[in-house]
Amino acid sequence: MTKPIAKIGLRKNARISSKKNERRIPKGIIHVQASFNNTIVTVTDVRGRVVSWASAGTSGFRGTRKGTPYAAQAAAFNAIRTLVDQGMQRAEVMIKGPGLGRDAALRAIRRNGMLLSFVRDVTPMPHNGCRPPKKRRV
């Protein structure tokens, strides 16, 4: 009977070192998705691979406070904080959605000392497509 060969310090699915922290990204794209209920900030490299993200919910806000400008500012700060340490200097900003956190997130990004190539509004606009839902009764 053959004896099984012992693997010394090797596991099949183990990650030896985190490649996410090793990568130095000089330029990236910051996507801000601001809805009425939440604000999500995603930072990608130029190819579109997600490097970091944060939302008002992950920043510690719950319920109706997630839709506030202050929650959007906190989410933007949390998403960008690690990237400034990694060496990101320039970024493009894509803002989507009608929420209150649009301006607050942009101000927080500017305050972090990052050079912005451009700021683009990519909110989807229908050319009279689907019929919108009925207006909410108050």
- pLDDT averages per 10-residue partition of the chain, 138 residues: 58 51 79 94 92 93 93 93 85 93 92 90 91 86
CB under 8 A, 24+ apart: contacts of 124-133: 124/96
Encoded tokens for 138: 């108050």
Encoded tokens for 115: 């050079």
pTM of the model: 0.76
- pLDDT score recorded for residue 63: 93
H/E run at residue 109: helix 101-111
- pLDDT score recorded for residue 74: 94
> Residues 72, 107: contact at Cβ < 8 Å?
no
Domain boundaries defined on the chain: 27-121
Superfamily (CATH H level) for 27-121: Ribosomal protein S11/S14 (3.30.420.80)
Encoded tokens for 47: 């190819």
